[in-house]
């Protein structure tokens, strides 16, 4: 039986309309959430999910429509109004303060005080209890948030929502940076919450999760509700995809024609960075896709960031086309034709306050220099070509970067390196937060790049994705390469078996 069945709605959002300059983001959205249910909100990137939850969080005021809470119409004029009602939102791009401790982040805005004095011991004790509840007692209340992994920061953001005694928690892509074990712990926490009557709005592009944790489903497309109240377990995945995209899409990876080149374009030899990874070596030939598979925290992101020069290796070399790169130099890597699409695109790749055109041209500004002046017309035309080729939405290159959905922001990062004509492309979680339609487009793009002679390295937490995209796969565990071989000779079970054993090849 669906949790919450028979109860009056906790939340009703009816005919919600939200306009921005030149864009109608929401065109009359309806959403009803019952107490104690997990209500899954689905839709492609740009469908309006992020705008809708920001309306619910009090970040944006709707232009039309009504919101009712426990049967009473309400106005959410600011975020504090939503939090006072018991509505907590965990955003996909975490809004933590890296310079503060875990405890300080969790109780930021509702500090534990007495007679005007901070009660740090109480905050630390409550933080420790929250971390234990979330299955991460090893995260210290006094640890600085900036020192934690992406998965650790996600846990802190969840703990902050739980600290407010929320009655409705919105989770936007909560599993995107979690490994399989952490996802199971997340689902356990969600089940505990709903058993206590707390409602959860769950947003995810991993459709298999919806059937596992969801009760009912609402689907958005082009800013409008196309289906609502669908039973999560009984509705076929193919039907959900059809509603989201208007067409049937399957996760079909492009065919791999095979690699004919023998000389490597990228050579990594003995790369070591103390405390993160050691003695990593691999080659990537022109036209080849090499995948790094492993659990969150295995050192995969650190490896590709070091190859790119964003981190400085303690030992080892990175060679591109026979040219050894200077360690710790992004300029040297970019000059040699290396591009990186990092895991955290908003904080590591994009200038959110600048235009789409400028974000695309950032790595190629020298191309548009004219006697000390920037050829803005040429920059705009080049950006428009990339936006059209990758179907970035909205297609206006003057749009501010922060107004694009996560999937379209990812396309802009890819467009930057396509414009640069890079020889080596490093993709760290390229489909994180990307819907099923855009995933297929990115998969096809990766294959087209490889077919054109680009050497591609892919990091993904989804083992199926690594195996489906790659010609060869490296299994990484605790900073060590445990296995290397053709992707066709290993399956997901084999990868996990290698990781669990921890035996180096």
Residue 438 lies in a domain: yes
Same domain, 240 and 193: yes
Say yes or no: 27 and 139 in one domain: yes
For 71-88, the pLDDT digits (tens) are: 999 999 999 999 999 999
Q: Identify the band that residue 279 occupies on the pLDDT scale cut at 50, 70 and 90.
A: very high
- Secondary structure class of 170 (helix, strand, coil): strand
Query: Do both 168 and 290 map to the same domain?
Result: no
Range of the domain at 476: 266-337+422-501
Number of domains in the chain: 2
Rounded Cα distance, 365 and 151, in Å: 34
Q: For the domain that residue 169 is a member of, what is the CATH number?
A: 3.40.50.300
On whether both 117 and 196 belong to a single domain, the answer is yes
Same domain? 428 vs 313: yes
pTM of the full predicted structure?
Answer: 0.64
Q: What is the pLDDT of residues 57-76, one digit of tens each?
A: 999 999 999 999 999 999 99
Domain boundary among 245, 279, 312: 245
Give the distance, in angstroms, between the CA of residue 220 and the centroid of all CA atoms in the same chain. Answer: 19
338-341 β-sheet, strand order:
338-341, 424-428, 455-459, 289-293, 472-477, 480-486
Is pLDDT above 90 for 116?
no
Q: List C-alpha distances in Å: 123 to 101, 120, 405, 482.
A: 11, 5, 35, 41
> Are 135 and 106 contained in the same domain?
yes
Residues comprising the chain, all counted: 505
Query: pLDDT at position 114, please?
Result: 63
Inside any domain, residue 411 = no
Q: In the prediction, which pLDDT does 374 show?
A: 84
Residue with the two structure tokens 């996909």: 92
Q: Supply the pLDDT for residue 247.
A: 58
Q: Rg for the chain (alpha carbons), in Å? A: 23
- Of 403, 435, 413, 402, the closest CA to residue 45 belongs to 435
Q: How confident is the model at residue 345 (pLDDT cuts 50, 70, 90)?
A: confident
pLDDT in tens, 411-438: 899 999 989 989 999 999 988 777 667 7
Residue bearing the bigger pLDDT, 93 or 377: 377
Residue that has been written with the tokens 């030939």 in this structure: 285
């Amino acid at each position: 039986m669906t949790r919450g069945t028979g109860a009056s709605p906790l939340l009703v959002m009816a005919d919600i309309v939200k306009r921005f300059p030149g864009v109608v983001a929401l065109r009359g959205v309806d959403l009803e959430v019952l107490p104690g249910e997990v209500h899954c909100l689905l839709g492609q990137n740009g469908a309006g999910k992020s705008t809708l939850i920001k309306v619910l969080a009090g970040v944006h005021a709707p232009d039309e429509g009504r919101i009712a809470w426990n049967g009473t119409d309400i106005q959410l004029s600011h975020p504090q109004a939503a939090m006072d009602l018991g509505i907590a939102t965990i955003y996909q791009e975490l809004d933590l303060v890296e310079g503060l401790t875990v405890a300080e982040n969790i109780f930021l805005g509702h500090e534990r005080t007495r007679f005007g004095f901070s009660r740090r011991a109480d905050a630390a004790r409550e933080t420790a209890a929250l971390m234990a509840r979330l299955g991460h007692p090893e995260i210290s209340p006094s640890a600085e948030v900036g020192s934690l992994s992406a998965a650790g920061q996600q846990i802190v953001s969840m703990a902050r929502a739980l600290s407010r005694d929320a009655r409705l928690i919105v989770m936007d892509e909560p599993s995107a940076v979690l490994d399989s074990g952490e996802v199971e712990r997340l689902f356990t926490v969600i089940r505990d919450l709903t058993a206590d009557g707390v409602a959860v709005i769950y947003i995810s592009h991993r459709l298999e999760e919806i059937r596992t944790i969801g009760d009912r489903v609402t689907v958005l497309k082009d800013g409008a509700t196309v289906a609502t109240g669908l039973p999560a377990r009984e509705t076929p995945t193919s039907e959900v995809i059809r509603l989201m995209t208007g067409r049937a899409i399957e996760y079909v990876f492009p065919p791999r024609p095979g690699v004919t080149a023998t000389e490597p374009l990228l050579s990594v030899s003995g790369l070591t960075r103390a405390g993160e990874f050691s003695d990593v070596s691999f080659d990537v030939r022109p036209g080849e896709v090499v995948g790094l598979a492993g659990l969150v925290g295995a050192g995969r992101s650190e490896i590709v960031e070091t190859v790119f020069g964003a981190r400085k290796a303690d030992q080892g070399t990175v060679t591109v086309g026979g040219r050894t790169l200077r360690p710790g130099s992004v300029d040297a890597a970019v000059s040699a034709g290396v591009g990186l699409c990092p895991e955290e695109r908003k904080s590591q790749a994009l200038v959110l306050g600048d235009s789409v055109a400028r974000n695309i041209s950032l790595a190629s500004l020298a191309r548009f220099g004219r006697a000390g002046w920037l050829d803005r017309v040429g920059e705009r035309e080049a950006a428009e070509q990339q936006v059209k080729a990758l179907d970035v939405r909205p297609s206006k290159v003057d749009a501010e970067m922060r107004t694009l959905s996560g999937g379209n922001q990812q396309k802009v990062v890819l467009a930057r390196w396509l414009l640069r004509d890079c020889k080596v492309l490093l993709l760290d979680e390229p489909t994180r937060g990307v819907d099923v339609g855009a995933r297929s487009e990115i998969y096809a793009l990766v294959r087209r790049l490889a077919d054109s002679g680009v050497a591609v390295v892919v990091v993904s937490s989804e083992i199926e994705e690594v195996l489906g995209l790659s010609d060869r796969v490296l299994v990484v565990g605790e900073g060590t390469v445990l296995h290397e071989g053709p992707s066709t000779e290993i399956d997901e079970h084999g990868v996990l078996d290698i990781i669990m054993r921890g035996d180096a090849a």
